[in-house]
Amino acid sequence: MTGASNILNVLIFGASYGAVFATKLLTAGHRVTLICTPAEAALVNKDGLQVHFPASAKDGGMVVDSNRFSKQLSACSPDTIDPALFDLVVLAMQEP
């Protein structure tokens, strides 16, 4: 783990399927890096993520915007990252 603070530095392969998990990690105070295509990485780094959690059919649910978590989310392509630098590596991809 990074330092003595229990904050994890997490790498998630698969930004699409990993977005919900990444958002939950951000709300718990962890740092997250998403692996995706260069175009997707540029969008995430520019605009962040917005994940919509439906609460019920009666209301609009909850939206979590990653921009609330200053500099805790980043994205990059696979060829620019060393997984050994992370506390936890997650594979979040669709089954074939």
Per-residue pLDDT of 17-31, as tens digits, reads: 899 899 889 989 999
**If pLDDT is split at 50, 70 and 90, which confidence band does 59 have?**
confident
Check pLDDT > 50 for residue 2.
no
- The answer to whether the predicted template modeling score (pTM) of the entire model surpasses 0.85 is no
**If pLDDT is split at 50, 70 and 90, which confidence band does 68 have?**
confident
Flag whether 44 is in a domain: yes
Give the three-state DSSP class for 54. coil
Decide if 66 contacts 48 (C-beta within 8 A).
Answer: yes
Structural domain count of the chain: 1
Decide if 33 contacts 86 (C-beta within 8 A).
Answer: yes
Give the three-state DSSP class for 25. helix
Flag whether 96 is in a domain: no
Please give the residue range of the domain that contains residue 26. Answer: 9-91
Flag whether 41 is in a domain: yes
Flag whether 59 is in a domain: yes
Residue 42: partners with Cβ closer than 8 Å, 6 or more residues away: none
Flag whether 1 is in a domain: no
Alpha helices in the chain (DSSP H): 15-27, 38-47
Q: Which two tokens stand for residue 95?
A: 């089954």
What's the chain's average pLDDT? 87
Flag whether 3 is in a domain: no
Flag whether 2 is in a domain: no
Flag whether 87 is in a domain: yes
